[in-house]
Amino acid sequence: MSTYMKNLFNYSRSLPEPFDTLANKKVKVSSKYGDGTEATLCTTVIKAVQAVCCCMNGSKEGAVGVIDHRTVAEYKSAMGPDAYHLVVYDSSSGSVMASVYDKNTEVLETYTLNNSERDGAAVMMAIIPVLLQDQEFKDYFDEYYDQFINGHPDMGITTMSMAYLCDNAYRRIKDDSCAAHVKVELDRSGNLMRVSQAQIDSGSFMPNEVVAGEFTIFAKTGPATIKKASTFVEHSDFVGKYELHERTLSPAERQLVPVLPEWYIIPEEVVDICKHAQVTTGKPMQMRNFLLRGPAGTGKTMGAKAVAAGLGLPYMKYTCSAGTEIFDFIGQIFPDSETGSTGNAQLDLEREQLKAMGGINYANVSKLMKLPDLDDMDYDPSGVYHALTGVENTAATSQDCMGIVLDMVTEKVRALSKTDPEHKSSGQSFSYVETDFLKALKNGYVVEIQERATRS
């Protein structure tokens, strides 16, 4: 397990009220997920639970909510009247983003979770909606909340219920073999990926459901005015329900039809696109070109994939760059290397793999090299930049990352195109490789053209 547990569960910190007077942090109870040993009260869990309780009864500022498989928290820090800790937690990957935020100046700072820095209460607060999906945690949370709103009249019940909550959270996060495991990925340094001002301004992390409190930072629409899906479309009522023709896809083509994850909420715009495409099929003016606009991270690519799923068609994409030319949309010319060897066994193997994937093109080479895609670059440009170059650059943009990726792909293509002189024929021949864009147009697939605005 990659989670560095001591960063999140630090038992050396002093306990907050009303547990600060207890002589012992050990309590003779154990979660059903434990091994029977005594539970230990944890400051991080206590502060997170209390923060949620304060949000529920309106006694303090802050909020926690759910987007989809991601949860968000605005944790009100005691360090100042405008100090907040902003957290985004992804339950499917376990990744955590966080920033220290001054609401007055809108200045963001790095959130570091370790012994000498933050205690992680804000991170745990963001995880609580996922923890509450377990019946044991929910039962003891409700029991503790009853004590909380009444001023902790029975310290025995208060302590016992909190001990169960601490033990439940610890066991489920620590043990990846637990049936109710909650995945959390943290490294030893405790440095968390930042929540950026651009993401806040664009509403990238606006919750669809409020668990407790009123959002005032992630949600820009005012207190308690949280955007929720006006209609909910079942996947079973959408996927493959808007077919444009009766053509039977080949096994290879069926592999290209997107499979929507269970958590994905189908936007009304996606349904409208599918309806218009189907209704106008066979008409003199068929609707086949649709424009999805919005800031990075707002779901444009996922929407395009959903359209393909609704139409039951393969999905492909073509990514533009500042140097994209018209001819690049059609195909590329490469030295013919099919009949000769590069002189490198690994490159020859990769060449064969690319041939099986459909040829040497940007998408296939990028996939073979396991390079980050546009979604990764939009989501965390500085992190992707560091992963690609090994250099920290907090000001890196998705275009910076794209330039590096294009250079890496170009260099790989050059290496794949070289022919060992010992195997070289008398003349140089060339091969034409069509793009996924052209392939999609020829075969009636859904193709997404990404970053159109970058093309000069």
Residue 35 forms part of a structural domain: yes
Final residue in a domain of this structure, among 260, 285, 313: 313
E strand map for 207-328: 209-213, 315-319
pLDDT on residue 297: 61
Distance CA 268, CA 79 (A): 42
Residue 64 forms part of a structural domain: yes
189 pLDDT more than 90: no
Structural domain count, the chain? 3
Same domain, 178 and 79: yes
DSSP calls for 6-41: HHH--TTSPPPTTSTT-S-SEES---TTS-SPPEE-
> Would you say 98 and 122 are in contact if contact means Cβ atoms under 8 Å apart?
yes
Final residue in a domain of this structure, among 150, 179, 213: 213
User: Tens of pLDDT along 314-339?
Assistant: 999 887 777 777 667 767 666 565 55
The share of the chain scoring above pLDDT 70, in percent, equals 86
Final residue in a domain of this structure, among 313, 342, 376: 313
**Torsion angle (degrees, nearest 10) of CA 108, 110, 115, 118:** 20
Same domain, 298 and 380: no
The share of the chain scoring above pLDDT 90, in percent, equals 34
User: Tens of pLDDT along 106-146?
Assistant: 888 888 887 667 888 999 999 999 999 999 999 999 999 98
pLDDT on residue 306: 95
Same domain, 47 and 91: yes
pLDDT on residue 224: 38
User: Tens of pLDDT along 238-252?
Assistant: 999 999 988 899 988
Q: How confident is the model at residue 374 (pLDDT cuts 50, 70, 90)?
A: confident
- Domain extent, residue 354, equals 326-454
pLDDT on residue 235: 92
Q: How confident is the model at residue 221 (pLDDT cuts 50, 70, 90)?
A: very low
Residue 56 forms part of a structural domain: yes
Mean of pLDDT values over 416-433? 64
Same domain, 113 and 155: yes
> Would you say 195 and 108 are in contact if contact means Cβ atoms under 8 Å apart?
yes
Q: How confident is the model at residue 222 (pLDDT cuts 50, 70, 90)?
A: very low
Residues 6+ apart with CB under 8 A from 300: 292, 293, 294
Same domain, 302 and 358: no
